Amino acid sequence: MTLTALSAAQLAHRIQRRELSALEVTEAFLERIAQRDQEIHAFLHVTADSARARAKKIDQELAAGRSVGPLAGVAVGIKDNICVAGVPATCGSKILQHFVPPYSATAVERLLAAGAVVLGKMNMDEFGMGSSGENSAYGPARNPHDPSRVPGGSSSGPAAAVAARMAVLTLGSDTGGSVRQPAALCGLYGLRPTYGRVSRYGLVAFASSLDTIGPLTRTIEDLALGLQCTAGHDPLDSTSLPDPVPDYLAALQRSIKGQRLGLVKESIGEGNTAGVRQAVQQTVEVFRSAGAAITEVSLPYTDYGIAAYYLVCCPEASSNLARYAGMTYGTRLSDRDLIATMMTTRGRGFGPEVRRRILIGTYALSAGYHDAYYAKALKVRRLIAQDYRNAFARCDLLLTPTSPTPAFRLGEKTTSPLEMYLADVDTVGPALAGLPSLSIPAGFEGKLPVGLQLIAPPLGEELLLSTAAAFERETGGRYLAP
Ligand code: GLN
């Protein structure tokens, strides 16, 4: 039996019944990392010693008859912009190369409390800015389905690791698509929860009005488990929602008969590859046979999504990243005088995409341009949110592709930032509107996975889960990554 092929639910179950030890599971994953990560480069930092120590602790607890959590012994990985106490958090940037956070993110604390074993920190586009993983200062991660292609981004490592069975569940962050798009390109489930559903405490800020933390997994049950263990109010995050956490695992069993599924007209036509269009058609048929009613809906402001997203995220990033000045956090280059220190540190510490965004953001906020760019983008954001409210008056949830293409080749889009930005056309809308959205593995184009996106009203995670679970049942899980 290959331990690394088991789901999180299966692993936890067997460990709890002591058919497997947490230590042998941890060793199996560490072994897999040693075999595969040379090529895939999903990890920036492997915490082998602390993982073994934790696994032993869990085995001792079980031997003493004490109860352990629902993720007992499950091998998890954490995107490098989410803090784990005592382990470097570089955010894929040179400027934080030696930064070691003194505390863990709430989402990480909650996974640990559920019994998870953290294997390490994962590769990513610098500060979450990118759609391919190629903006990592430490070199790109690769797509396990075809290592000449990107795994997507910015949660490149979290997606590549799960697809290559080097971890069974990972946490990514999604500002404009960074969990969903890499999940789609790697054949996984990836969830952006409702803004505020999972605490952002301990997530290094990129664009605070958009940032979320979400799980990536190979099965929908594991995704529900990951959300169950991380969701819920946190007094340490002022944007955290107070709403009680429902039983997400129970939602997996619900029928979708009579559910109204809206196919978003603007996102299913030209601009998508043949394989993506075909996956949409097939998926619609699957949902129809499961008893859902399919309607076509329009989101007229879709075309403005990318422009609005970049004019919201860059100003927020320029402000959030002002703290990396060589004073309090991270790398300091030069000590000549204050200005020289800041200029050298920021000029050399940040990569080109991060510098580009700081410049765009600063420009869009500056006197004389603020109203023309930033304030206008906020108005468009409101119109986009209104589009979704109108659509949800007519249907229960929406279906779009997650990405217009499957995984592209390394280097294919690096010379054109705009091409790269367009990889997010389908994912920025729900982000701007704060809506929960889930990418599900829904087909292949050749050997490359294709993902589709389900979008629900605020706090509609159960609806996303029950719909995805119905799809997984109807298709016998045949689109799941090998
Ligand atoms: N790819 C998008 C960007 O570059 C989304 C990033 C994210 O969600 N962190 O901004």
Count structural domains, the chain: 1
Between the CA of 471 and the centroid of ligand 1 the distance, in Å, is 27
The answer to whether residue 53 sits within a structural domain is yes
> Which residues does a 6 A CB cutoff place in the pocket of ligand 1?
128-131, 154, 173-178, 206, 313, 424
pLDDT band at 477 (very low <50, low <70, confident <90, very high): confident
The answer as to whether 287 is a domain residue is no
392 falls within a domain:
no
Substitution site in 123, 358, 424, 427 for ligand 1 pocket (most atoms within 8 Å of beta carbon): 424
Separation CA 113–CA 333 (nearest Å): 39
With 70 as the cut, is the pLDDT of residue 39 above it?
yes
Q: What is the arithmetic mean of pLDDT over 160-176? A: 98
> How much of the chain, in percent, has pLDDT values that exceed 90?
94
Q: Give domain status of residue 290, yes or no.
A: no
pLDDT in tens, 320-348: 999 999 888 888 888 889 999 999 999 99
Query: What's the gap in Å between 130 CA and the centre of ligand 1?
Result: 5
Question: Which segment of 327-336, 413-422, 456-465 scores lowest on mean pLDDT?
Answer: 327-336
Average pLDDT, the chain: 96
**Does any domain span residue 482?**
no
Residue 232 lies in a domain: yes
Q: Choose which residue among 126, 154, 439 to substitute to test ligand 1 binding: the one with the highest number of ligand atoms within 8 A of its C-beta.
A: 154
Q: How far is the CA of 255 from the centre of ligand 1 (A)?
A: 34
Residue nearest to atom 5 of ligand 1 (CA): 176
**Residue 199, C-beta contacts closer than 8 angstroms, at least 6 positions apart:** 105, 106, 107, 213, 230, 232, 233, 234, 236, 237, 240
Report in angstroms the alpha-carbon separations of 78 from 161, 238, 334, 392, 399. 10, 23, 32, 33, 28
Question: Judging by DSSP bridges, how do beta strands 75-79 and 169-174 pair with one another?
Answer: parallel
Going by C-beta distance under 8 Å and a sequence separation of 6 or more, which residues neighbour residue 409?
148, 149, 150
Average pLDDT over residues 355-381: 96
- Say how many Å lie between the CA of residue 191 and the centre of ligand 1: 14
Q: What CATH number corresponds to the domain at position 470?
A: 3.90.1300.10
Averaged pLDDT for residues 210-237: 98
pLDDT at position 335: 83
- pLDDT of 316 above 60: yes
Give the residue numbers marked as catalytic: 79, 154, 178
- Residue 260: pLDDT band by 50, 70, 90 thresholds? very high
pLDDT value of position 300: 97
Residue 327 included in any domain: no
Which distant-in-sequence residues (6+ apart) come within 8 Å of 268 by Cβ?
277, 280, 400, 401
Q: Is residue 482 scored above 60 in pLDDT?
A: no
pLDDT at 393 over 80: yes
> Is residue 481 assigned to a domain?
no
For residues 454-480, give the mean pLDDT.
93
Q: Which domain holds residue 100?
A: 3-256+460-475
